[in-house]
Amino acid sequence: MGQIEWAMWANEQALASGLILVAGGIVATVGRFAQWYFGAYSIAAGALVCLLEYPRGRRRKGSTMERCGQKYVAAAVKLFGPLTRNYYVRAVLHLLLSVPAGFLLATILGTVCLAIASVIYLLAAIRGEQWLPIESKPKERPQAEDIKPPPSNPPPRPPAEARKKPNEDEVAAGGNPQVNPIPVTDEVV
Amino acid sequence: MGNWLVNHWFSVLILVVWIGLNVFLFVQTFLKYEKSDEYYYTREILGFCNRTLRKPLDQNLTFHKLVAYAICIFTAIHIIAHLFNFERYHTSQQAKDGSLASVLSGLSHHEKYGGSWLNPFQSPNMTVLYVTFTSIAGLTGVIGTVALILMVTSAMEFIRRHYFELFWFTHHLFIVYFLCLALHGFGRIVRGQTKDSMKESHPHKCAQSFEKWDHHDSHCRPPQFEGNPPESWKWIVAPVILYIFERILRLLRSQQRVMITKVVMHPSKVLELQMTKQGFSMEVGQYIFVKCPSISLLEWHPFTLTSAPEEDFFSIHVRAAGDWTENLIRAFEQHHSPVPRIQVDGPFGTVSEDVFQYEVAVLVGAGIGVTPFASILKSIWYKFQRADHNLKIQKIYFYWICRETGAFSWFNDLMISLEQEMEELGKVGFLNYRLFLTGWDSNIAGHAALNFDKATDILTGLKQKTYFGRPKWENEFSTIATAHPKSVVGVFLCGPQTLAKNLRKCCHRYSSLDPRKVQFYFNKENF
């Protein structure tokens, strides 16, 4: 149980809340409910929350699955430095954003969900978690291809010797006369 | 696509039937509220009213997720529809224009016909928020939906894979959800005209003359309304009872005493536990849930059984892969006496039981994913020993893909003895296994090349040499297809998703379109 990173769940919860705020806001605005301007606010607030929460932060251990296309949004989020890295800031921000939407029934669900996300972020911040962008690692080729370059033995040589044999790395490539310490008979599978 | 359909037609059929039933129920209920007469006046205020029904049917993981998605979609529709309803009720209550809607909304003020209200907004002061949080339907709706949203966000694949306990404990909010669902309709806030009132003053006859309802000489009386009885509990009562029954059964089963008969520490931090429990019986490839109260009182972890049903004990191999498993291995390493107590729940069935139904079986295990196949191979060994002629299997191709050599050793004994067994019985070609070492480096490969002409493999001691790198599945499948042109081949995988995609593609590609020729069926273990 000690391995839980609350920020990851807070992130999912906040993203869902953003979507719910947008949906509720659309219903209130399109239906021209009473005080529908709260609905318009809710759409804007929800969109902001979605943008902020879309890039997933890096896990403490192991690799992290990125959300589709999050690189571009992550670049923008990174720009705000400590404002987006620190989870106390996010907790407070989400709490403040959620309040106006609480005045309308259509968006109150978004308020409750975003407030819950804010509480989880607070918990994450207390535990010292931070939002760190996912670094893209250079792609490693799988080991089968990771073989040292073939030695440059001078020709002529029989075709069987052209297959890669790791032992041949020991053989100096400096143009010495060809000496095969190992009798080459069959191919290695 | 055509291949996929041919392989999965039964699941597709079930799915189509289930979706069809859902659509039918939705449309039927929708039309009831849209057309039927007792809701004539309800429609007057609301325009139209949506009510959706959904049936929780839990069968397996995929279906569970499908149902969850359906619930979410219908919840969204339900909420949006009722948002409009409440808004319209509210507006009608406020309206002073003497329209039919406003007359209907004022019905509750009639002393003579008090108690028969249509509009839940009883006074102009009531806001939509007020009515929501003071009505049973509104309150249970909000609480239930919040519970649902929390369950969904903690059940996202990312959270499930990396923070399982969070998912598991949050998912128990379903109790809150179902409670709210059952109570949701008890306020009887959706109202329709009573039968007596319809006989006396049918809306088709009286709706137009609504200004005259009060006049003592008019034929029409103000309509009387009653709330619809709650319905949702009827749908969920049977599954809930079944579920409670299952949980009690599992609790009782897990309280039974487990005797640990043998503890083996293998290299690469793999712990083998051999146990017995009264009344325990298993099939090949099944798994159990294991709890160790001295490590954690609440955590149950699944492990595949690595023993065969023919043995008089059951065993699991535990690899260090997180804090619980590491604690478990440490607890047993320290040779405490008495050994830590273990509780076991299960066994639960998996798809490996089908493996004996195929003439030719291709078994692929990646890393620790070899465990269900350990059980299968052992079982085959016992069946051979007892000369069981019911074995349908003619040939097995076993692929074990592994990163490091240490993990081989606990499986080694089994493979060596199987090799000997096959030789003794003269069935050398029955079991074909290829071992692939994906984490090799030039040292290992050099060592292997140097010992190339030894009879046994230097890493495993088996007659079959270890391959380096990943298998080329196209070659393997085409070889198997050519060797068994008329057979049905079952392909079983316990490993990562990418490998599953690869194998599934190969199965579809190398299955012949002619059903009499070679057919590959893909089965994946799911953990």
B60 and B105 share a domain? yes
The domain total for chain A is: 1
A169 belongs to a structural domain: no
B249 belongs to a structural domain: no
B35 belongs to a structural domain: no
A51-60, A104-113, B366-375: which range is least confident on average? B366-375
A11 belongs to a structural domain: yes
Provide, as residue numbers in chain A, all residues whose Cβ is less than 8 Å from the Cβ of B498.
none
Note whether B158 and A68 are within 8 A (CB). no
To the nearest 5 percent, what fractions of chain B are helix, strand and coil?
Answer: 50, 15, 35
B317 and B398 share a domain? no
A27 belongs to a structural domain: yes
A28 belongs to a structural domain: yes
Here the contacts of A64-69 (C-beta below 8 Å, separation 24 or greater) are: A64/A134, A65/B158, A66/A134
- Rounded to the nearest angstrom, the minimum Cα separation between A120 and chain B is 11
B438 or B443, which is more confident?
B438
Q: From residue A101, how far is each of A28, A89, B82 by CA, in Å?
A: 11, 20, 18
B64-78, B106-120, B282-296: which range is least confident on average? B106-120
B342 and B358 share a domain? no
One-letter amino acid of B512: S
A39 belongs to a structural domain: yes
Using 50, 70 and 90 to split pLDDT, how confident is the model at B175? very high
Of residues A12, A23, A33, nearest to B153 (C-beta): A12
B304 and B403 share a domain? no
A102 belongs to a structural domain: yes
B320 and B228 share a domain? no
CATH number of the domain residue B358 falls in: 3.40.50.80
**What is the predicted pLDDT for the residue at B251?**
86
Q: pLDDT tens for residues B450-468?
A: 776 766 666 666 666 677 8
**What is the predicted pLDDT for the residue at A48?**
94
B355 phi/psi in degrees, rounded to 5: -65, -30
B368 and B501 share a domain? yes
B341 and B214 share a domain? no
B8 belongs to a structural domain: no
Instruction: Check pLDDT > 60 for residue A174.
Output: no
B74-83, B241-250, B397-406: which range is least confident on average? B397-406
Q: Region B18-37: what's the mean pLDDT?
A: 76
B43 belongs to a structural domain: no
**What is the predicted pLDDT for the residue at A65?**
84
Using 50, 70 and 90 to split pLDDT, how confident is the model at B173? very high
Q: Which residues of A touch B (CB under 8 A)?
A: 1-5, 8-9, 12-13, 15-16, 20, 23-24, 27-28, 31, 33-34, 56, 59, 62, 65, 103-106, 108-109, 112-113, 116, 142-144, 147-148, 165-167, 169, 182, 188-189
**Tokens 């907004």 sit at which residue?**
B121
Q: Region B25-34: what's the mean pLDDT?
A: 74
A67 belongs to a structural domain: yes
B404 belongs to a structural domain: yes
A159 belongs to a structural domain: no
Instruction: Check pLDDT > 90 for residue A181.
Output: no
Q: pLDDT tens for residues B364-405?
A: 888 777 877 888 888 877 877 777 666 778 888 888 888 775
Residues 82-121 (B) with a CB less than 8 A from some CB of A? 83-84, 86-87, 90-91
**What is the predicted pLDDT for the residue at A18?**
96
Asked if A108 lies within 8 A of B129 by C-beta distance, the reply is: yes
Residues 40-59 (B) with a CB less than 8 A from some CB of A? none
Q: Beta strand pairing status for B258-266 and B270-277? A: antiparallel
Give the torsion sign (CA, B408, B413, B419, B422). Answer: negative
Of residues A31, A105, A165, nearest to B129 (C-beta): A105
Cα B207 from chain centroid? 51
Closest CA to B342 of B269, B255, B272, B279: B255
Nearest chain B residue to A61, by CA: B162
B453 belongs to a structural domain: no
DSSP B359-382: SEEEEEEEGGGGHHHHHHHHHHHH
Instruction: Check pLDDT > 50 for residue B49.
Output: no
d(CA B193, CA B188): 13
**What is the predicted pLDDT for the residue at B50?**
32
The domain total for chain B is: 3
Q: Region B148-152: what's the mean pLDDT?
A: 95
Instruction: Check pLDDT > 80 for residue B335.
Output: no
**What is the predicted pLDDT for the residue at A150?**
67
Q: And the tokens for A8?
A: 């990851």
Domain that holds residue B487: 353-440+462-525
Instruction: Check pLDDT > 80 for residue A173.
Output: no
Task: Let me know how long chain A is.
Answer: 189
Using 50, 70 and 90 to split pLDDT, how confident is the model at A143? low
Instruction: Check pLDDT > 70 for residue B58.
Output: no
B206 and B57 share a domain? yes
Q: Is B10 touching A (CB cutoff 8 A)?
A: no
Provide, as residue numbers in chain B, all residues whose Cβ is less than 8 Å from the Cβ of A56.
158
Asked if B128 lies within 8 A of A34 by C-beta distance, the reply is: yes
User: Average pLDDT of chain B?
Assistant: 80
B128 and B197 share a domain? yes
Which residues are bridge partners to A152 per DSSP?
Answer: none
Domain that holds residue A60: 6-126
B89 and B182 share a domain? yes
B69 belongs to a structural domain: yes
